[in-house]
Structures are given as C-alpha cells and as structure tokens.
Structure 1
Amino acid sequence: MACRISELVIDAEDPGLLAAFWCEVLGYAELDREDDGSIQIGPPGAADGGVLPTVVLNAGRDPRRGKLPLHFDVSATDRDQEAELARLLALGAVPVDVGQSGTESWHVLADPEGNEFCLLRARVEPA
C-alpha cells in the first residue's frame, strides 16, 4: 500500500486572490469554497482524490513569506519558457532573487502573496 499527494494546502491572507492567480497559472478551476473562506482549486471537473492534486488555500492562518522548505515548480505546456514567463509576469508574478548566478535554466518567481515558485525550462504535456 502506498500514499500519493491528493491536496496541497497553502495558508493565504487573501485566498480569492491566490485562487484566481493559481487557476490562471495552472488552468485550474474553483472546486469548493468553505464558510471559513478556504477555497479549493483543481483541474476542471476534478473530484477529491483525483489523479492530480488539488490546492486548498486556507484563509487567515498567519502565512509565512519568502523561502519555504517546499515550493511549486511549474512547466509550460504550450509555449516556450520565455513566453510563459511573460504570461506569468502579466498575471502578477514577480521575479525573486534567491542568490541565482544567472546561468540557471529556471526562473524564480513569487505569487501575489510572496510565495516563491520556479518556472522550469522544459515543456511538458498537458495533464
């Protein structure tokens, strides 16, 4: 018997803002909105326990900022890295300097609440 990741949970000051951002980045949709303000996003039509993990954005849990021990790596599915970088910046991502040398094959960015993530060079197939 084994486990697999079914949900990723992020504490957020403004779950609606992050839900909108990550839905655009990942092509996800809002799946559920709880009375406590938490929002679950995932692949359109997904159900709990689906093949791809959903993301739960918890409201007002005193989120940490900056470098966390866990972050998202994302890869474009239908364009090259530079075109995807331009799209992410237009959505509200910002470049982050974590001491890169400038020769990396990835870009370090932060979402609208400062959570760091990386845009990788390799293009992947859509899920």
Structure 2
Amino acid sequence: MTMRLVQIAMNARDDSELGRFWAEALSWSSSVEEPGVVTNLEPEGFAYPDPTAVCIDVITVPDPKTVKNRVHIDLATTSAAHQAELVARLKDLGATPVDIGQGDVPWTVLADPEGNEFCVAEPREIYGDTGPIAAIVADCIDPRAMARFWEAAMDWTLHEITDDHAMLRSAKGVGPYLKLVRTPDAKTVKNRVHLDLRPYPGDDQAAEVARLRTLGATDIDLGQGDEVSWTCLVDPEGNEFDVLAPG
C-alpha cells in the first residue's frame, strides 16, 4: 500500500480572492467547490489526480496569518528574463517583496495578497520539467528524519539528501518536488499550508492511516468533526496533513 501527494491546502481569509491570485499566477483554472469556503485550482485540462501536478485547495478560515509559513511554494523559471518577467507580473497581480532574512540570493521572495511567502526561483536545470510549481518547500528541524518519513508515507522517490535539505519527487519522475529544508525555528502554530495525500483506488484509507501511525504520525483534532471523509494527522515534527478518501 502507498499513497500520492495530490494537493496542498492553503488557508485564506477569502478563498475566492486568494484563489483568483494563484490561478492567474500559475495560469491554472479555478472552480468553486463550496461557495465562500473552498476554491480548487488545477492546470487547464487536468485529469485529477495526476502526478504531473500537485493541485491547490484554497480554504477560508477565520484565523489570521501570524508567523512565517513553514510550507511554501517555489515557482520555476526558464531564464533570467523569464524570472524578471514573472516577478513583475506577480507584483501586478498583488504580490509584494518580503524580507525573511534571505540575504543576497538568486531567487526572489514574495508574499501573496494574504501575506503567504513564496519564491520565484532562478533558472535551475532540475526544475526544467516540473511545470509552474517547481517545489513545495517545508521547513523542518531534521531533513534526514523527515525524508525517511515522507518517502515511506507515499510513493515518492528520494532524489537528494544532506544534513541541510532533502528532495523527493513522484516515482513517475514528473511534477514538482517536495523539498525539506533545515531551519532552526520550531513549529509554534497550526500551519496555514499543509499536504493532502490520497490512497489509490481500491486501497483502504483506515489501513493507510494505521500504517502512517507506525511510521511516526499521530492523530490531531483540528475541529474537523466525525463527518468528514478525510483523516487529520501530524508528521513526526508536528506538521498537519490529511489522508483523503481513496480515488
């Protein structure tokens, strides 16, 4: 048994407005799953789920953003000119430059209209075939331990691992990377961006959840209630993620 990383869930004060920004930023389509609650984003003509893309669910929540996000998106570019053009276009859409202590780096750090940090990467050969999202980047204390957990949790292959970072990608060699980056900052509040995993059709959701618990995941009550079709867990460093129904 195993699972796929199919989407990220992004909290927002207004799912419609933030969904509109990211749809235009990525040149993706958007659809309303539940008015005023959830907006779905995916590539045009996409047949969900497919490893060529990790989709986005923008979800309205009442809580404001208070700290730097521990999970963010890196966008891919193909040239220096493309990077500059993309940064300018994103600013026109409502993104703003942000200083998170990055110093003099070749990538550009921006925040979306609700303050969620993201990066526009300089051209990198490794990101040449990822699509507009180069990587989903997650802060962690121990990249090696976290890479072991996520490699066992889902059908993604480990591509790089050091004491400072680890990178995984779908075993089919398509779509964005999951990049785990060492940071000294401990998690203090609920993440506003989290991962959603989905078992394959015919697999047993409860069995997958039980397997994840043996790997070090634990249950968490986020007020989701008993009627939802997904299970809320946290990884060994306390980062929330959901196990969706098979499909």
User: Which band: TM-score by shorter chain?
Assistant: 0.7 to 0.9
CA distance in 1, matches of 2:115, 2:78: 24
Partner of 2:24: 24
Residues 94 and 110, structure 1, Cα contact 8 Å, conserved in 2: yes
Residue 30 of structure 2 is aligned to residue 5 of structure 1: no
CA distance in 2, matches of 1:85, 1:45: 26
Residues 77 and 126, structure 1, Cα contact 8 Å, conserved in 2: no
CA distance in 1, matches of 2:56, 2:106: 26
- Provide TM-score, normalisation by structure 1: 0.85
Partner of 2:15: 15
Following superposition, the deviation at residue 53 of structure 1 comes to 1.5
Instruction: After the TM superposition, list the runs of 4 or more consecutive aligned residues in structure 1 that deviate by more than 4 angstroms.
Output: none
Residue 91 of structure 1, aligned match among 86, 90, 93: 93
CA distance in 2, matches of 1:63, 1:57: 14
Identity across the alignment (%): 35
Residues 66 and 114, structure 1, Cα contact 8 Å, conserved in 2: no
User: Where does 1:59-74 land on structure 2 (aligned, <5 Å)?
Assistant: 59-74=60-75
Deviation per CA, 1:58-110: give whole Å up to 9, x if none.
112424344111110001358521111111111111000111322x0101100
Structure 2 alignment gaps of length 5 or more: 132-247
Partner of 1:100: 102
> Which of the pair has more CA radius of gyration?
2
CA distance in 1, matches of 2:93, 2:8: 21
CA distance in 2, matches of 1:120, 1:55: 19
Residues 13 and 63, structure 2, Cα contact 8 Å, conserved in 1: yes
CA distance in 1, matches of 2:46, 2:29: 9
Residues 14 and 36, structure 2, Cα contact 8 Å, conserved in 1: no
RMSD between superposed Cα atoms in Å = 2.1
CA distance in 2, matches of 1:27, 1:111: 15
Q: Which has the higher strand share?
A: 2
- Cα–Cα, structure 1 residues 117 and 66, in superposed 2: closer, same or farther, change >3 Å? farther
Other structure's SS at 2:3 match: coil
The code of the aligned residue for 2:63 comes to D
The code of the aligned residue for 2:37 comes to G
CA distance in 1, matches of 2:34, 2:45: 18
Greater mean deviation of Cα atoms: 81-90 or 47-56: 47-56
- Provide TM-score, normalisation by structure 2: 0.46
Partner of 1:56: 57
Q: How many residues align?
A: 126
- Cα–Cα, structure 1 residues 118 and 5, in superposed 2: closer, same or farther, change >3 Å? same
CA distance in 1, matches of 2:83, 2:129: 14
